[in-house]
Amino acid sequence: MEMQKDLVVGGVELKWDLTTGQVLFEGGDVVFFWVSAMKTFFDTINEITGEEATNLVLEATGFRQGIIVGEGFKEMKEINTSNVVAWLSDTYVPAGWGYVRVEKMEVDTKNFTLYIKDDWEYKMNKLGAQEKQGIFVPAHYAGVFTGLFGRNFWYKIVEYQNDSNPFTVVEYFPSDMNVQQSIWQMARRQEAKQIQQLENLVAEKTKMLQDLVKELSSPLIPVLDGIVVVPLIGRYDEDRAEDLIMNTLNNLPKYQARYVLLDLTGLNKEISPYTAELIEKLGSAARLLGVEVILVGISAELAMVITETLTGLRKYECLQTLQHGIYYALGKSGRRIV
């Protein structure tokens, strides 16, 4: 077969080099004319859908177009491994798709290794500022084999054409993998990504809520000189108890407190053993700082609980209301409200 032809089409002289797959016009590559247009098209898809979705579109489109080509060739003549090898080069090189050859093939298993060079997708990617790797052309040949042999073929890219490698090397083999599975996998990845984003958002909001609860559940309220109120609200676990103790002890010197009124009104007539232990720890630590702890907000029911089961709290002064506690602390410090 003659490896270079000079053609005149519509008065335009073209040189067709079948060894490289180039079609030249006045020394320039004719393929670049439509490659630049395709680049704009693919760049627009990438801008709208993102790189992962664009790659999947290219792979799916290349594969499905290849099936059409393979099925069409299959209808024209009887298919066997040898004429497929010859047909690939004879068809795609003159079509301006670059150089392609089957370097290795296993007849029994129908495994093929293709060497592809200077295909239009490679030329298109070379036009960009960033080096990209082709996916349309490799997937297209997988579709061609699928259409030719009537069974699904898939591919594995061994290496890409670049300054160091003169060819893109792709292995093709019968496989259950197909475009639909690639689409499904991408959908699962996107779903997992969205779930992860939601989980991160929930974790962030939970952290904010925990910080807010921590701030609100450990307030230290100065009411008069030397007198502060600490309301106890709800149930306390280890973390809440530790926060309450540390926040109270750290701020007592700031307010020059001599009396801490622990307001038990928000405990809903119930003090758990853990809460009682919390009060004991806080009272013992406050005494080391020279601060007296007074329990206020003691209802009749709570008084019975303290008397019957929480006898350790009876050593603290217990008063019915916060107002009584403030009057009591003022009296002990030699002051009164007038």
Q: How confident is the model at residue 274 (pLDDT cuts 50, 70, 90)?
A: confident
- Rounded to an integer, what distance in angstroms lies between the CA atom of residue 143 and that of residue 103? 19
178 backbone dihedrals φ, ψ, rounded to 5°: -150, 180
Residue 153 has pLDDT above 50, yes or no: yes
Return the CATH fold of 219-332.
Answer: Transcription Regulator spoIIAA (3.30.750)
pLDDT, tens digit (0-9, with 9 covering 90-100), for 57-107: 888 888 999 999 888 888 776 766 667 777 777 777 767 688 888 888 887
What are the extents of the domains in the chain?
31-177, 183-217, 219-332
Average the pLDDT over 21-47 and give the result: 68
pLDDT of residue 155: 93
Domain boundaries 31-177, corresponding CATH code: 3.30.1380.20
Residues 281-314 have pLDDT tens digits of 888 888 888 999 999 988 888 788 778 777 778 8
Q: What is the mean pLDDT of residues 243-268?
A: 86
Provide the β-strand partners of residue 6. 15
Of the candidates 214, 215, 217, 209, the residue with the CA atom closest to the CA atom of residue 234? 217
Please enumerate in sequence order all residues whose Cβ is within 8 A of that of 295, keeping only pairs 6 or more positions apart, or say none.
261, 262, 264, 279, 313, 316, 317, 318, 319
Mean pLDDT, the chain, rounded, equals 80
pLDDT at 201 over 90: no
Give me the residues paired with residue 9 across strands: 12
Reported as a single tens digit per residue, the pLDDT across 179-191 is 777 766 766 766 6
Q: What is the pLDDT of residue 1?
A: 46
Q: Residue 259: its pLDDT value, please?
A: 93
